[in-house]
Amino acid sequence: MKRFAHRGVMALRPENTMSAFRLALDTGADGIETDVHLTKDGELVLIHDETLERTTDGSGMVSSYTLNELRRFNAGVRYSQQEVIPTLQELLELVRDESIRLNLEVKTDVLRYEGIESRIIDTIEVAGIDPSRILFSSFNHETIHRLKQMRPDIEGAILLAQPLYDLVGYLKFVGADSVHPHINRITDQEIECLKQHDIPVRPYTIKTASEMKRCLALQVDAIFVNDIEWASKTS
Ligand code: G3P
Ligand code: MG
């Protein structure tokens, strides 16, 4: 069972920062999950929320600032350290010579960020990273559909925060390859059914020993965790 560092190792470092991503590499994560937004001037930045208040010393919408303006804010403020909001390009450069996978969660479920899908594909192509190391996901399944149309060879997962009727049929309809469900919003039977169809399942976010035990018993493909070393000790 593979372990993805959720927003980097967010239990120990400021989430979605280079230091959180570096710790994922240093602690042997199989993958890094991060959240992608579009700036006012069309740049791709890694931050979870549409707004700046929770994780930085800035305020307002990410989409209302240019990249240069965003770079003035501190994304390490909750840990009393200095961190800039990273770009997707910086993360791709960090992992280029490693084998770790990257799960790019495209945050188009609140703001549509028109054109973000092609911007992401362009950035990945310029970075020259092996496409098998990239894994797209989104709560906006239209985004996954678009990405799969542009690059059918790159895996695309639907994120699920609630139950969905006929998951296997729906995945085919969207053109998606895999499912990233909230751990408490999917049944054992649904997971078994997906596995029977060879559809990878990667629940988020595993925080307790009992959730870990359940994922191990069900032999899910991977899990999202906030602390890779905790996951290694617990599994
Ligand atoms: O991709 C798993 C997880 O990150 C989805 O939820 O809100 O943490 O981005 P969220
Ligand atoms: Mg996410």
Q: Would you kindly state where each structural domain of the chain is located, as residue ranges?
A: 2-50+86-234
Confidence of residue 59 (pLDDT cuts 50, 70, 90): very high
In CATH, what class is 2-50+86-234? alpha beta
Ligand 1 pocket, mutate which of 110, 135, 158, 159 (most atoms under 8 A from CB): 159
- Residue 115 pLDDT > 90: yes
Confidence of residue 32 (pLDDT cuts 50, 70, 90): very high
User: How much is the average pLDDT of 116-120?
Assistant: 98
- Give this prediction's pTM: 0.97
Chain segment 124-148, per-residue pLDDT in tens: 999 999 999 999 999 999 999 999 9
Q: Name which residue sits closest to atom 3 of ligand 1, judged by CA.
A: 204
Confidence of residue 235 (pLDDT cuts 50, 70, 90): confident
Confidence of residue 116 (pLDDT cuts 50, 70, 90): very high
pLDDT at residue 188, rounded to an integer: 96
Chain segment 196-221, per-residue pLDDT in tens: 999 999 999 999 999 999 999 999 99
Q: How many angstroms does the Cα of residue 204 sit away from the middle of ligand 1? A: 7
Average pLDDT, rounded, for the chain = 97
141 is catalytic: no
pLDDT at residue 196, rounded to an integer: 97
CA 65 distance to own-chain centroid: 22
Identify the residues whose C-beta falls under 6 Å from ligand 1: 6, 33, 35, 48, 105, 137, 159, 180, 204, 224
6 is catalytic: yes
User: How much is the average pLDDT of 183-198?
Assistant: 96
Q: How many angstroms does the Cα of residue 164 sit away from the middle of ligand 2? A: 20
- Residue 38 pLDDT > 90: yes
